[in-house]
Structure 1
Amino acid sequence: MGEAIGQILSYGVAVALSAFPIIGVVLMLATPRARTNGPALLLGWSLGLALVGTIVLLVSGGVGPSDQGQPADWVSALDLTLGVLLLWVAVKEWRGGGGGGGGGGGAPPPPRDGKEVPLPKWMRTVDSFTPVKALALGTAMSALNPKNLLLSIAAASAIARTDTSAGAQAVALAVYVVLGALGPGTPVVLYFALRERSKHILDDLKLWMEQHNTAIMAVICLLFAAKLVGNAVSDLSS
C-alpha cells in the first residue's frame, strides 16, 4: 500500500493547485447560497477525481508489474501518451492560450499589470447557481478539464503500475482524492471557520490564483510530462 500511495502524492498536490476550482469556490462563497454551493462544488470536484481514477483502475483490470518487476506495456505506452499531451498543454499554457476552466467557459487570459480580468460566463453567473448545478460544475471541472483529467489518469496509471491488492489501490486513490480536494477545500474551511473575516483572505487568494494560474499550470504540466516520458522510455527500453 505504501508504494501505491507514494506514487500519487505529487499528483494529488498538483491537482490541488489547479486554479479554477479554487476561484470557483471562492466566488460561490460570496453568494447568498454560500453555505450549500461552496461545499457542493467541493463535493463535485472530489467525485470527478474519484470517478476518473476508478475508471482507469477498472480498465486496468488489476494488471500489475511483470515477474521481472516491469510494468505492463500498456501502462508504459499510456505514460508516454500522457507525457506528450501534458507537454502540449504546458506549451499552450506558457503561450497564454490555456483553456482550462472546464464546465463551461475556458480560462480567462492572463491579467495585465496586476488587474483583474473578465471571467468566463459561468463565473459571472454563480449567484443563480443551485447546489445541484454547483455539484455538476465541480464534477465537470475535475473529470472533463484536460489538465486535471490527464493528471488524474496519470495518477491512476501510477497506482496500476504497483504490485498491490485492489484494496490497497482503492486506498491510494482515496488519498489522491483527498489531496486533490485540498485546493478548493481550503476556502470552504476558511469560510466556515472565520465567517465574515474570511472575505478579505478569500478575495486575495482568488486574485493571486488568477494572476499566477498560467505559470503554475505550465510548470506543473512540464514537470509531469518529463516524469511520465522518462518513465515510459525507461520501461519500454528495458
Structure 2
Amino acid sequence: MDGGSTGGGVVAAVNDMLPLAMAVALSPFPIVAIVLVLGARAGLRAGVAFSAGWLLGLGSLGALLLIAAARGPGSDDPIGGFVPIGIGLALFAGARRKWRTRPRAAEPPRVPGWMASLNDISAGRAALIGAGLGGLNPKNIGLVFAATTSMAGNGLSRHEAIACLAVFILLGSVTVLGALVARALGGQRAAAPLEAVKQFMLANNNVIMITVFLLIGAKLIGEGLASLSG
C-alpha cells in the first residue's frame, strides 16, 4: 500500500471485494446462529453481544490479514498470482465436499450439535461464539485473505485500505446485523419471519455454499491466471 493512490484504486478494490463480502454475508451458519440467539432467554441482549463479537472477530481477522497482505508480494509479483488460484482451488474443494455431504431427498437438514445450546445462552457466551464464527471460520479466513490481498494489490493508501476494509466488514455482516435490527424494531413480530429465514438457510445450506464456492472460486482462479499471464 502506498500513500498516493487515486480514487480509481478504491473503486477497483471495492468491485473486487464485493462478491467476497457477499459470500461472507450469505454463510448460513452465522445467520442461523443469530436467529437462535435472538430467540434465547437473553433475547436482544444476547443478539447484540453476538453481533458485537462477530464484528470484532471479522474485523480483527481483516486487520491482521491486511497487514500481512501489505507486507507480502505485490500484484506485479508472479508469486502473487498463485495466491488467488490457491484460494480458488480450495473453494472448489469445499464445494465438492458440500456436494458429497448434502442431505438426501426427504432427509431433514443437519444442525450442528453446538447450535442446540444457543436456545439458552448468556450474552457473554454469545459474544464468544460470534467472534469465533467471524474470525476463526476457515471459509472467512480464505475470503478475507482474498479481499485484503486485492486491496493491497490496488495500491491503496493506508487510510483508503482501512476504509475499504470497513466497507467489507459491514457488507459481510449485513445479514447478521439485519437480523438484529429486525428483532430490535419488530420485537416478537419478527420471530416468525426470522424463523422462516433460519429454516430456509438450514434446508438450503449446501446449495447456497456450493454456489458461492464455485462462483467465487472461478473468479479468483481467473484473476490469478490473468495476473500470471500479464
Same fold? TM cut 0.5: yes
The secondary structure found in structure 2 opposite 1:188 is helix
C-alpha separation in 2, matches of 1:2 and 1:230 = 19
Report the counterpart of residue 24 of structure 2 in structure 1.
15
Report the counterpart of residue 57 of structure 2 in structure 1.
48
Aligned residue pairs total 221
1:191 aligns with 2:193: no
Superposition deviation, residue 64 in structure 1: 7.8
Residue 35 of structure 2 aligns with an amino acid whose one-letter code is V
Contact 1:111 1:117 in 2 (8 A): no
Contact 1:22 1:183 in 2 (8 A): yes
Unaligned runs of 5+ in 2: 1-9
Superposition deviation, residue 119 in structure 1: 2.3
Superposition deviation, residue 237 in structure 1: 2.5
Q: TM-score, normalised by structure 1?
A: 0.86
Report the counterpart of residue 94 of structure 1 in structure 2.
99
Of 37, 52, 71, the match for 2:46: 37
Q: Report the CA distance shift for 1:193/1:6 in structure 2 as closer, same or farther (over 3 A).
A: same
Of 103, 114, 138, the match for 1:110: 103
Q: Report the CA distance shift for 1:30/1:111 in structure 2 as closer, same or farther (over 3 A).
A: farther
Contact 2:88 2:219 in 1 (8 A): yes
Q: Report the CA distance shift for 1:75/1:129 in structure 2 as closer, same or farther (over 3 A).
A: farther
Q: Report the CA distance shift for 1:81/1:36 in structure 2 as closer, same or farther (over 3 A).
A: same
Of 191, 200, 225, the match for 2:192: 200
The secondary structure found in structure 2 opposite 1:163 is coil
Alignment of 1:101-140 (within 5 A): 110=103, 112-113=105-106, 116-140=108-132
Residue 204 of structure 1 aligns with an amino acid whose one-letter code is A
Q: Report the CA distance shift for 1:214/1:118 in structure 2 as closer, same or farther (over 3 A).
A: closer
Contact 2:25 2:172 in 1 (8 A): yes
Report the counterpart of residue 106 of structure 1 in structure 2.
none
Report the counterpart of residue 4 of structure 2 in structure 1.
none
Q: TM-score, normalised by structure 2?
A: 0.89
Deviations 1:133-157 (A, max 9, x none): 1111111112222222211111111
Q: Report the CA distance shift for 1:157/1:184 in structure 2 as closer, same or farther (over 3 A).
A: same
CA RMSD of aligned residues (A): 1.9
Q: Which has the higher helix share?
A: 2
Deviations 1:19-57 (A, max 9, x none): 001100100111110121112111222222212221121
Seq. identity, %: 29
Contact 2:73 2:79 in 1 (8 A): no
Alignment of 1:144-163 (within 5 A): 144-163=136-155
Report the counterpart of residue 170 of structure 1 in structure 2.
162
1:80 aligns with 2:72: no
